[in-house]
Amino acid sequence: MSKYIFITGGVVSSLGKGIAAASIGKLLEARGLKAAIIKCDPYLNVDPGTMNPYQHGEVYVTEDGAETDLDLGHYERFSNTVLSKDSNITAGKVYYSVITKERRGDYLGKTVQIIPHITDEIKERIKKVSRGNDVDVTIVEIGGTVGDIESLPFLEAIRQLRWELGEGYALNIHVTLLPYIRSAGEQKTKPTQHSVGRLREIGIIPQILMCRTERPISQDQREKIALFCNVDVEAVIEAIDVKHIYEVPVALKKQKLDELILKKLNIKLPDKGIKNWEEGVVKRLRSPAKEVKIAVVGKYIALQDAYKSIYEALVHGGIANNARVNVVKVDSEELEKQDPKKVFKGMQGVLIPGGFGSRGIEGKIRAVGHVRENKIPFFGICLGMQIATIEFARHVCDLKNANSTEFDKQTPQPVIGLLEEQKQVENMGASMRLGAYPCFLEKGTSSFEAYKTSKISERHRHRYEFNNHYRVQMEEAGMVFAGVNPERDLVEIIEIKDHPWFVGCQFHPEFKSKPDAAHPLFREFITAALKQATDK
Question: How far apart, in whole angstroms, are the C-alpha atoms of residue 27 and residue 16?
Answer: 16
Alpha helix stretches (DSSP H) within 53-189: 53-56, 71-78, 91-104, 119-132, 152-165
CA atoms within 13 A on the CB side of 45: 17
Choosing from 462, 512, 519, 523, the residue that interacts with ligand GLN (CB under 6 A) is 462
Kindly state whether residue 464 participates in binding ligand GLN, applying the rule CB under 6 A: yes
Cβ closer to ligand GLN: 175 or 393? 393
Which stretches of 155-311 are assigned E, i.e. beta strand? Answer: 170-177, 180-181, 186-187, 208-213, 236-240, 290-298
CA dihedral (488, 83, 314, 392) in degrees, to 10, reads 20
Cβ closer to ligand GLN: 143 or 354? 354
Q: How far is the CB of 386 from ligand GLN (least distance, A)?
A: 6
Question: How far apart, in whole angstroms, are the C-alpha atoms of residue 354 and residue 519?
Answer: 17
Cβ closer to ligand GLN: 107 or 356? 356
Question: How far apart, in whole angstroms, are the C-alpha atoms of residue 241 and residue 135?
Answer: 31
Question: How far apart, in whole angstroms, are the C-alpha atoms of residue 39 and residue 89?
Answer: 6
Kindly state whether residue 463 participates in binding ligand GLN, applying the rule CB under 6 A: yes
Q: How far is the CB of 432 from ligand GLN (least distance, A)?
A: 6
382 has catalytic annotation: yes
Residues 6 or more apart whose CB falls under 8 angstroms from that of 421 comprise none
Q: How far is the CB of 352 from ligand GLN (least distance, A)?
A: 9
505 has catalytic annotation: no
Site for ligand GLN in 366-385 (CB under 6 A): 382-383
Q: How far is the CB of 416 from ligand GLN (least distance, A)?
A: 7
Site for ligand GLN in 406-425 (CB under 6 A): 406
Q: How far is the CB of 503 from ligand GLN (least distance, A)?
A: 15
Secondary structure of residue 150 in the 3-state scheme: coil
Site for ligand GLN in 424-453 (CB under 6 A): none
Q: Which stretch binds ligand GLN (CB under 6 A): 6-14, 34-42, 238-246, 349-357?
A: 349-357
Asked whether the beta carbons of 87 and 130 are under 8 A apart, the reply is no
Asked whether the beta carbons of 232 and 258 are under 8 A apart, the reply is no
Kindly state whether residue 299 participates in binding ligand GLN, applying the rule CB under 6 A: no
Kindly state whether residue 360 participates in binding ligand GLN, applying the rule CB under 6 A: no
Q: How far is the CB of 374 from ligand GLN (least distance, A)?
A: 24
Question: How far apart, in whole angstroms, are the C-alpha atoms of residue 509 and residue 518?
Answer: 10
Q: Which stretch binds ligand GLN (CB under 6 A): 82-90, 138-146, 177-185, 458-466?
A: 458-466
Q: Which of 465, 508, 519, 524 is catalytic?
A: 508
Cis peptide before 116 (omega within 30 of 0): yes
Q: Which stretch binds ligand GLN (CB under 6 A): 148-156, 280-288, 368-376, 462-470?
A: 462-470
Kindly state whether residue 39 participates in binding ligand GLN, applying the rule CB under 6 A: no
Secondary structure of residue 214 in the 3-state scheme: coil
Kindly state whether residue 354 participates in binding ligand GLN, applying the rule CB under 6 A: yes
Kindly state whether residue 41 participates in binding ligand GLN, applying the rule CB under 6 A: no
The rounded Cα 193 to chain-centroid distance in angstroms is 32
Q: How far is the CB of 28 from ligand GLN (least distance, A)?
A: 33
Cβ closer to ligand GLN: 319 or 402? 402
Asked whether the beta carbons of 15 and 9 are under 8 A apart, the reply is yes
Pairing type for strands 479-485 and 490-496 reads antiparallel
Choosing from 26, 284, 299, 461, the residue that interacts with ligand GLN (CB under 6 A) is 461
Determine the longest span between alpha carbons in the chain, in angstroms: 76
Kindly state whether residue 310 participates in binding ligand GLN, applying the rule CB under 6 A: no
510 has catalytic annotation: yes
Site for ligand GLN in 55-84 (CB under 6 A): none
Cβ closer to ligand GLN: 354 or 520? 354
Q: Which of 229, 382, 397, 439 is catalytic?
A: 382
Question: How far apart, in whole angstroms, are the C-alpha atoms of residue 141 and residue 469?
Answer: 47
Report how many residues bind ligand GLN under the rule CB under 6 A: 10
Alpha carbon distances (Å) from 86 to 36, 57, 99, 330, 436: 11, 20, 19, 36, 16
Cβ closer to ligand GLN: 125 or 364? 364
Q: At what angle do helices 17-30 and 71-78 cross, to 10 degrees?
A: 20
Q: How far is the CB of 88 from ligand GLN (least distance, A)?
A: 18
Q: How many CB atoms lie within 10 A of CB 329?
A: 15
Q: Which of 465, 510, 519, 524 is catalytic?
A: 510
Kindly state whether residue 355 participates in binding ligand GLN, applying the rule CB under 6 A: yes
Q: How far is the CB of 194 from ligand GLN (least distance, A)?
A: 42
Q: Please give the positions annotated as active site.
A: 382, 508, 510
Q: Tell me which residues touch ligand GLN (CB under 6 A).
A: 354-356, 382-383, 406, 461-464
